[in-house]
């Protein structure tokens, strides 16, 4: 009986040890002091805020990179860049030792600001051009007050950009996602093509009106205009010179700065 009790206690101790190890691993990966959604400006309903938080939690854990959304009505006398960086740093956001992640700040103070702050691997995954692209994709919804829709777009694009960066080729100036062509433009292109084809064929047909079919090929040659006595092709030599074409880098990369905490951040912003 004593042996069974001792064995049971050993199993329980082992389970507790495994639980502690897992908890320590989670703490090492993410050490957030706050939720990933901080809607201090009250731009979403409670249900929208809860849903967005679930989306960002799943995305952050799966991609091993913090994705955070913050809204505010005041910047506390800071610039939008300083405010975003401080929220990220002092909120203890970021995955791993390098604090990998990205934070979207929407400020509705004196001016409507949209700013994205990146850190760690987030600086690699989200280049300056990529940040501008993501901001542009959200602008329409932000202007119309469709904030939850804008934040959904942000999370979807973050997922796509991180996945692309993991492949070794982050989206940048000349490799941004291709936007789908509108059906209207497809119809317009087809119409323009048909009209141009009709014009070109019509002109070609008009130029051929003076031509008449001849039964013999000799009718196309003037008398005594051609007198070939001898014809010979002789290849002597060939000289080929090649010059290497200079390759220009298509990567614009990410510009960085140092926050008040001394951490390196990337980022960029716009008005809406």
194: phi then psi, degrees, rounded to nearest 5: -65, -45
By the 10 Å C-beta count (0-12 exposed, 13-18 middle, 19+ buried), 173 is classed as middle
Q: What is the DSSP string of 100-150?
A: BEEEEEEEESSSEEEEEEEETHHHHHS-HHHHHHHHHHHHHHHHTT-HHHH
Per-residue confidence (pLDDT) for residue 180, from 0 to 100: 53
Q: What percentage of the chain carries pLDDT values higher than 70?
A: 66
Per-residue confidence (pLDDT) for residue 232, from 0 to 100: 72
Who wins on pLDDT, 206 or 268? 268
User: Residue 21 — very low, low, confident or very high, per pLDDT cuts 50/70/90?
Assistant: very low
Per-residue confidence (pLDDT) for residue 209, from 0 to 100: 59
- CATH code of domain 24-175: 3.10.310.50
Element (H, E) at 153: helix 147-166
Per-residue confidence (pLDDT) for residue 210, from 0 to 100: 56
Are the CB atoms for 84 and 95 separated by under 8 Å? no
Per-residue confidence (pLDDT) for residue 109, from 0 to 100: 83
Taking the domains of the chain in order of start, what are their residue ranges? 24-175
Over range 19-46, report the average pLDDT.
Answer: 77
Are the CB atoms for 77 and 96 separated by under 8 Å? no
pLDDT at 155 over 80: yes
pLDDT digits (tens, 9 = 90+) for 221-243: 666 666 667 767 776 667 776 66
Over range 67-96, report the average pLDDT.
Answer: 97
pLDDT at 178 over 90: no
Q: How far is CA 44 from the centre of its chain?
A: 25
* 0.85 exceeded by pTM: no
Beta-strand pair 101-108/256-258: unpaired
pLDDT at 122 over 90: yes
User: Residue 200 — very low, low, confident or very high, per pLDDT cuts 50/70/90?
Assistant: confident
Task: Output the average pLDDT for the chain.
Answer: 82
Over range 165-181, report the average pLDDT.
Answer: 87
CA 201 – CA 207 distance, rounded (Å) = 10
Q: Give 177's DSSP letter.
A: P
């Amino acid at each position: 009986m004593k042996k069974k009790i001792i064995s049971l206690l050993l199993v329980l101790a082992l389970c507790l040890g495994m639980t502690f190890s897992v908890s320590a691993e989670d703490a090492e990966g993410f050490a957030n002091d706050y939720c990933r959604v901080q809607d201090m400006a009250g731009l979403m309903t409670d249900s929208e805020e809860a849903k967005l938080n679930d989306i960002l939690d799943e995305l952050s854990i799966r991609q091993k990179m913090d994705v955070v959304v913050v809204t505010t009505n005041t910047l506390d006398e800071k610039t939008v860049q300083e405010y975003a960086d401080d929220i990220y740093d002092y909120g203890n956001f970021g995955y791993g030792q390098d604090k990998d992640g990205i934070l979207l700040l929407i400020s509705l103070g004196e001016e409507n600001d949209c700013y994205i702050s990146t850190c760690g691997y987030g600086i690699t995954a989200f280049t300056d051009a990529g940040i501008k692209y993501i901001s542009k994709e959200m602008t329409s919804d932000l202007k119309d007050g469709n904030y939850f829709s804008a934040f959904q777009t942000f999370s979807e694009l973050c997922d796509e950009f991180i996945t692309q960066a993991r492949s070794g080729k982050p989206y940048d100036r000349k490799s941004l996602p291709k936007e789908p062509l509108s059906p209207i433009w497809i119809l317009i292109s087809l119409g323009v093509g048909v009209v141009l084809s009709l014009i070109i064929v019509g002109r070609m047909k008009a130029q051929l009106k003076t031509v008449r079919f001849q039964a013999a090929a000799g009718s196309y040659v003037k008398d005594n205009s051609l007198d070939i006595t001898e014809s010979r092709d002789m290849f002597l030599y060939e000289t080929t010179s090649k010059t290497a074409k200079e390759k220009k880098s298509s990567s614009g990369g990410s510009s960085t700065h140092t926050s008040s905490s001394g951490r390196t951040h990337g980022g960029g912003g716009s008005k809406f």
